[in-house]
Structure 1
């Protein structure tokens, strides 16, 4: 009986610690800095309208290119900016973030 209680206690402790870490990760917005991204890198879904926001104290600039290297959208984001709507992004699109800003997508 003591073995069962000790194994059950360990299992219960591990399940609570795993659940707590998962909930904390969901509530934290992922920020992206300067670089080249596709929608998989950003964790976005295809053909969904998202918003972008700059949460840092620095300016940021974002450009969306299609598969033919044509600019689909370009946004300059002031420090601590409001949310700006984006056009739906496709899997073949590339997103370029320039500047020291930290952008989040929602």
Structure 2
């Protein structure tokens, strides 16, 4: 039942996002809080590879990576103080959904 609720929230968030404007940044940011972001909001990576980490000392965060058809490509729960995780290769039209009180840092993979 708990999985169903999480999945329902994620799908509703993705569906509702098509009707709500996504904030546009004056300069690309690397630190993100709860919300839905386009990959094009990030600093462009030449190979479209990124890493993500939870930089919050006490709060966890749930990450969902969705493609242009709003199909979940990757789902990660980041506990506080976890190490960096590699994200799948992404296109600029992909979206990242962050749920939780934590704060994530997304950087191009070097």
Scaled by the length of structure 2, the TM-score of the pair is 0.64
Q: What is the 5 A alignment of 1:3-22?
A: none
1:98 pairs with 2:96: no
Q: CA deviation at 1:105?
A: 1.3
Per the alignment, residue 31 of structure 1 pairs with 31
1:64 pairs with 2:56: no
Following TM superposition, the consecutive aligned residue runs of length 4 or more in structure 1 with deviations greater than 2 angstroms are: 42-47
Of the two, which has the highest radius of gyration?
A: 1
- RMSD (Å), alpha carbons: 1.7
Q: 1:44, 1:105 → 2: CA distance?
A: 11
Q: CA deviation at 1:30?
A: 3.2
Contact 1:66 1:93 in 2 (8 A): yes
Per the alignment, residue 51 of structure 2 pairs with 51
SS in 2 for 1:40: helix
Q: CA deviation at 1:47?
A: 4.5
Scaled by the length of structure 1, the TM-score of the pair is 0.66
Unaligned 5+ runs, structure 2: 1-28
SS in 2 for 1:96: strand
Unaligned 5+ runs, structure 1: 1-28
